[in-house]
Structure 1
Amino acid sequence: MKVSKLILSFVLSVTLFTQVLSAQIASTGAVLGQSTMVSSKEKLVQIISREDVAKRFQELGVDSKAIEARVASMTDEEASTIAHQIDTLPAGADAGASILGAIVLIFIVLLITDILGVTKVFNFTKPIN
């Protein structure tokens, strides 16, 4: 029983303290330590002019020129607020990996507890004792 508690506590401690890492392409400016300051309005215009964003606006029936006119009429504070929200909101691409990781973790924990004889969830395992 002490061995099963030890293994279970080790597995849980390892999984609780792991961090999710993400890789990004480093720009030349970031590598050299140079910062390029872009105003919030310019950043919004760059986002609006992207092909996928413009296509989505067309699907919704919104003219891209009207959007550019609205961005131009925004105050600097409004533009910076929207640009900050765009930068900080999650993209949503990691949800599937998180769910899959949780399912795999639960499976491994149940498998270990089945092998140790603590639970009996899977028919294909045989307890150690």
Structure 2
Amino acid sequence: MSISSVSNSGFNNPDFNSSSPSNCTGFAPGHNIHWIHGRRLQGWEHWADVAVTADPQLDLIYLVIDGQQQLMWFHNVGAVATALEAAVDTPQWCQRYSTLMVPGGFGSEARSSFFYLARPERVLPCNGSPVRAPESERLEKPGS
């Protein structure tokens, strides 16, 4: 997949600010993509092909990047699985912003192509109130 196809594959979708159809209001890793996060992804060119398996029963996502397996978590693993079933091209991974992009996922019942994943040690469950990443882990401002 080329960089141009990545940057045109879903950033204009109207649901980009909401990674899943849940009522979660969190923007920490494992939850929704905030619009600022989305803007940074628009210009990001360092995406890597990734093999992905989403297991809703275990509540885990498995990424295989360059032969290395990583366990990840998302607050709605079923949405990731649904998006993967509808994928029209190879999923892409952005390590810097911990974001999985699934081309064609927006056209599925998941209604999203982008998922902000968390490592298991960074899981913060949805609790009905806004969930934010700790100050030390928030995305830095461009140019800093």
TM-score w.r.t. structure 2 length? 0.22
TM-score w.r.t. structure 1 length? 0.24
Q: Which has the higher helix share?
A: 1
